[in-house]
Amino acid sequence: MDRETTDIENSQKQIGNKTNSRFQFAHWQFFNDKDELWNTQTHSVSKLEPQVARLLTLLITQQGQVITKHMLNIQLWPDTIVEANSLYQLLTKLRKELQDSARNPLYIKTIPKKGYMFLPEVSLIDIPERPFPNTSSVAPVDIVSQQPRTTLSSQIQLLLTKKRCWALTLSAGACFSAIAFFSSTPDDITSPHYEREDITYELGVEFNVTAHAQHDLLAYIEQFNVLKITDKTGKYQHTRQFDTRIAHPTWHPDKKQLAFWQYQGDKCILHVSNDEAKTLHSSVPIPCHLIRPPVWQSDNELVLTIIEKAGHSAYLYRIEQQQLVKIPLPKAADEKYVGAIRAWEEQIYYLITDTEHNSRLVGLDGKVHMTWDFPVWLFNFDPGKQSIVSNDDSAHHNLIGKLRNGQTYPIFATSQGMFSNLSIDQQGDIYTAAETWQVNIRDQDNLPIFSSSSNDFLPVTNNLGETVFMSRRTGQCEIYLHSNNQLKQLSFHKGYELVSFLAWDPQLSKILSNRDKNLVLYDREDVIISFDSQHSKMPTQFGWLDQQNIWSSDTQFVHTFNVDGNLLTRTKFASDFLTFDAERQNWIVLQGNVLYLSQSLANFEVHKQPLIELPENAVHMIKNPRLVNGELYWQSTWSKTDIIWKLPLSTPTMLTKIRQEPLIWHYDITPDGALRVAKMESVEADIKRITPQLPST
CB-based burial, 431-451: b 16+ in 10 Å, e otherwise = bbbbbebebbbbbeeeeebbb
Are 173 and 179 spatial neighbours (Cβ–Cβ below 8 Å)?
A: no
CA atoms of 82 and 557, how far apart (whole Å): 45
Task: Give the burial class of 74: count Cβ atoms within 10 A of its Cβ; 0-12 exposed, 13-18 middle, 19 or more buried.
Answer: middle
Pairing status of strand 541-546 against strand 301-308: unpaired
Residue-wise pLDDT tens digits, 155-192:
434 444 444 443 333 333 333 333 233 333 333 456 77
pLDDT of residue 172: 34
Distance, in Å, from the CA atom of 73 to the CA atom of 70, rounded to the nearest integer, reads 5
Gap between the Cα atoms of 126 and 123, Å rounded: 10
pLDDT digits (tens, 9 = 90+) for 260-293: 999 999 999 999 999 999 999 999 999 999 999 9
pLDDT at 657 over 80: yes
CB atoms under 10 Å from CB of 368, counted, come to: 12
CB atoms within 10 A of CB 590: 20
Output the pLDDT for position 655: 97
Q: Which region, left, alpha or beta, applies to residue 422 given φ > 0 means left and ψ of -120 to 50 means alpha? A: beta
Percentage of residues in the chain having pLDDT higher than 90: 58
Q: What is the pLDDT of residue 81?
A: 57
Q: What is the pLDDT of residue 443?
A: 64
Residue 158 φ/ψ region, left for φ over 0, alpha for ψ in the -120 to 50 degree band, beta for the rest = alpha
**Would the pLDDT of 511 be above 90?**
yes
The partner residues of 542 in beta bridges, in order of sequence, read 552
* Average pLDDT value for residue range 311-321: 96
Distance CA 219, CA 229 (A): 4
Question: What's the confidence (pLDDT) of residue 83?
Answer: 59
Q: Which is more confident, 389 or 146?
A: 389
Sign of the dihedral through C-alpha 45, 49, 54, 56:
negative
pLDDT at 10: 45
Q: What is the mean pLDDT of residues 498-522?
A: 93
Q: Measuring CA to CA, which residue among 254, 220, 215, 261 is closest to residue 238?
A: 220
Residue 629 near residue 673 (C-beta atoms within 8 A): yes
Closest by Cα among 287, 294, 293 to 310? 287
What DSSP character marks residue 125? -
Q: What is the CA radius of gyration of the chain?
A: 28
Give the model's pLDDT for residue 210. 97
d(CA 336, CA 346): 24
C-alpha distances out from residue 230 to 221, 235, 239, 281, 380, Å: 11, 5, 9, 21, 21
CA nearest to 669, candidates 693, 651, 648, 652: 648
Cβ atoms of 681 and 438 within 8 Å: the answer is yes
What are the tens digits of pLDDT across the range 371-420? 999 999 999 999 999 999 999 987 666 899 999 999 999 998 875 667 88
At position 336, the amino acid (one-letter code) is: K
- Asked whether 353 and 338 are in contact (CB, 8 A), the reply is yes
d(CA 569, CA 41) in angstroms, rounded, equals 42
Share of the chain above pLDDT 70, in %: 83
Contact 615, 607 (CB under 8 A): no
Spatial separation of the C-alpha atoms in residues 270 and 396, rounded to whole Å: 32
pLDDT at 617 over 70: yes
Question: What length is written for the chain?
Answer: 697
Pure H helices in 590-690: 604-607, 616-619
CB 686 within 8 A of CB 228: no
Query: Which residues is 581 bridged to in the sheet?
Result: 586
Q: How far is CA 542 from the centre of its chain?
A: 22
User: pTM for the complete prediction?
Assistant: 0.70
pLDDT value of residue 73: 85
Q: What is the mean pLDDT of the chain?
A: 84
CB 664, CB 657: distance < 8 Å: no
Which H or E element spans position 440?
strand 430-442
Residue 413 to residues 174, 241, 410, 468, Cα–Cα distance (Å): 7, 33, 8, 32
Please list, in sequence order, all residues whose beta carbon lies within 8 angstroms of the beta carbon of residue 23, skipping any fewer than 6 positions away: 29, 30, 32, 60, 122, 123, 124, 125
Query: CB–CB of 693/194 below 8 Å?
Result: yes
